[in-house]
Amino acid sequence: MEPQLAALIRQSIADRYSLFAPEALADLPDTFTITDPCISGHPIVFASRAFLKMTGYSTHEVLGRNARLFQGPRTSRSSVMEIREAIREERAVEVSIVNYRKDGTPFWMLFRMSPVFGKEDGRVVHFVGVQVPILGRRRRSGVSSCDGDRVSECVFGGSCRREVCSDSLVELGGRVLDLDSADSQGLEIEGPCEANDLEKRIAATAVSNILSVLSHYSESTGRLVCGNRCNLPGPGLLTSSLNISLGRIKQSFVLMDPYLPDVPIVYASDAFLKLTGYSRHEVLGRTWIFLSGPDSDPSVLHQVSPFRLYSFFSSFDLVMMTSKDSSSFWNLLHISPIRNATGKIAYLVGVQNEELCKNQDRQGRTPEMWQLSVVGAVKVAVRSSSMVACSSK
């Protein structure tokens, strides 16, 4: 894992919860992951011991990876799209889906996902994904492959709510099952295979327990979270789907909201955070001028001041900026308006690059070409997101 991504994953938990949160989450017997839609790629930032046991992966193989790591040829595309739609709408979802262990073994599981909201602003900060193995009958001639009322004949999965006598035994809802024996029989996964009421209750209880832990350990940081949106998203807050789309753009840039006082930053790319040394929560809500230093040109700062940004649509300047460690660097700055699907200016994008102070980059692009490519990618993400939002109304 790249050092920058590793740092972002640590910050994802540490900035929102107390230092004891990871230990408390690790003590839970449930099979689950926590993902962060604000980090590029919407990666896993925490995986429980039971989840690692179920999939056969180690912690360092899972953290920083997207959940698509566990999908395979028999994973239903419609189920995947249902999950993506829930992420876009920032709501809970529950689906039965085929996932794959590290050794390539497919298994049925009940996946229940729930958003975690920041209490102060209603923003989605994490998604909790609980996985419960689905128990059912082996496929027989003339008989359904899964039966919610008869769950003792075979196991579609390999996880647990609690480890018991040996690594090959799993206790789920009070029933002890020999997973190694079940796996050796070559269980069929042809579906569909639906979870029964008990498995659904187990998943719902697990989500409730995890949210309770997160809520408790967010109190000491003053950045409270909850399982339900306590407040409507404030102005300038980006949806999870837009955050994920913008996260695919690897260049350094920020989005600013021209309709809020002082035109604050509402999104900062991972590359920008790497360039400046700041964490995401140290950047969001601040004005662009906070990166100025004693060596910055006052005339340039005047051009990009919050009061002029309302009418300042495009520029290209060489600006002396200051990173978190107080070191100065020359930076190429470009600011352009970003319009949504209706043609209204939604954001201002500020594109930066320290290396392009030369005439061209490694791909032979001039600074103007490079900046336009970044602006174009941001426009596509914003317009696509706004089009989907309009169509859903």
Write out pLDDT tens, residues 39-58: 888 999 999 999 999 999 99
Check whether residue 206 and residue 333 sit in a common domain: no
Please count the other Cβ atoms lying within 10 Å of the Cβ belonging to residue 167.
11
Write out pLDDT tens, residues 321-380: 666 766 666 667 788 888 888 888 888 888 887 655 555 555 666 777 778 888 899 999
Check whether residue 222 and residue 250 sit in a common domain: no
Check whether residue 202 and residue 281 sit in a common domain: no
Phi, psi dihedral angles at 337 (to 5 degrees): -75, 150
Q: How confident is the model at residue 139, as a pLDDT?
A: 41
Instruction: Please identify, among 195, 226, 257, the residue that sits at the C-terminal boundary of a domain.
Output: 226
Check whether residue 212 and residue 255 sit in a common domain: no
Question: Which residue range is the domain that position 139 belongs to?
Answer: 3-226
- With beta carbons less than 8 A apart as the criterion, state whether 336 and 377 touch: no
- With beta carbons less than 8 A apart as the criterion, state whether 237 and 121 touch: yes
Residue 235 resides in a domain: no
Residue 232 resides in a domain: no
Check whether residue 94 and residue 152 sit in a common domain: yes
Residue 365 resides in a domain: yes
Of the listed ranges 17-31, 120-134, 178-192, 208-222, the one predicted with least confidence: 178-192
- With beta carbons less than 8 A apart as the criterion, state whether 390 and 343 touch: no
Check whether residue 152 and residue 251 sit in a common domain: no
User: Tell me, what DSSP letter sits at residue 250?
Assistant: -
CA–CA dist 333, 360 (Å, integer): 15
Instruction: Please identify, among 226, 254, 288, the residue that sits at the C-terminal boundary of a domain.
Output: 226
- With beta carbons less than 8 A apart as the criterion, state whether 349 and 254 touch: yes
Q: How confident is the model at residue 186, as a pLDDT?
A: 36
Instruction: Please identify, among 169, 201, 226, the residue that sits at the C-terminal boundary of a domain.
Output: 226
Q: How confident is the model at residue 183, as a pLDDT?
A: 41
Considering the chain, what percentage of its residues have pLDDT values greater than 70?
69
Residue 200 resides in a domain: yes
Q: Which two tokens stand for residue 172?
A: 């789920």
Q: How confident is the model at residue 51, as a pLDDT?
A: 96
| Region label for 117, one of left (φ > 0), alpha (ψ between -120 and 50) or beta (otherwise) | beta
Between 42 and 293, whose confidence is greater?
A: 42
Check whether residue 53 and residue 155 sit in a common domain: yes
Check whether residue 156 and residue 297 sit in a common domain: no
pLDDT mean over 248-274:
87
What is the pTM (predicted TM-score) of this model? 0.69
CATH number assigned to the domain comprising residue 77: 3.30.450.20
Q: How confident is the model at residue 175, as a pLDDT?
A: 37
Residue 234 resides in a domain: no
Residue 233 resides in a domain: no
Check whether residue 213 and residue 268 sit in a common domain: no
Write out pLDDT tens, residues 196-253: 999 999 999 999 999 999 999 999 898 899 998 876 655 567 888 888 889 889 888 9
What is the total count of domains within the chain? 2
Check whether residue 119 and residue 148 sit in a common domain: yes
Residue 307 resides in a domain: yes
Write out pLDDT tens, residues 148-204: 333 333 333 333 333 333 333 344 444 333 444 334 333 445 556 888 999 999 999
What residues contact residue 360 under an 8 Å CB cut-off, 6+ apart? 366, 367
Residue 231 resides in a domain: no
pLDDT, averaged across the chain: 77
Check whether residue 217 and residue 253 sit in a common domain: no
Check whether residue 313 and residue 170 sit in a common domain: no
Write out pLDDT tens, residues 73-97: 999 999 999 999 999 889 999 999 9
* Nearest to 83, CA basis, from 55, 110, 47: 110
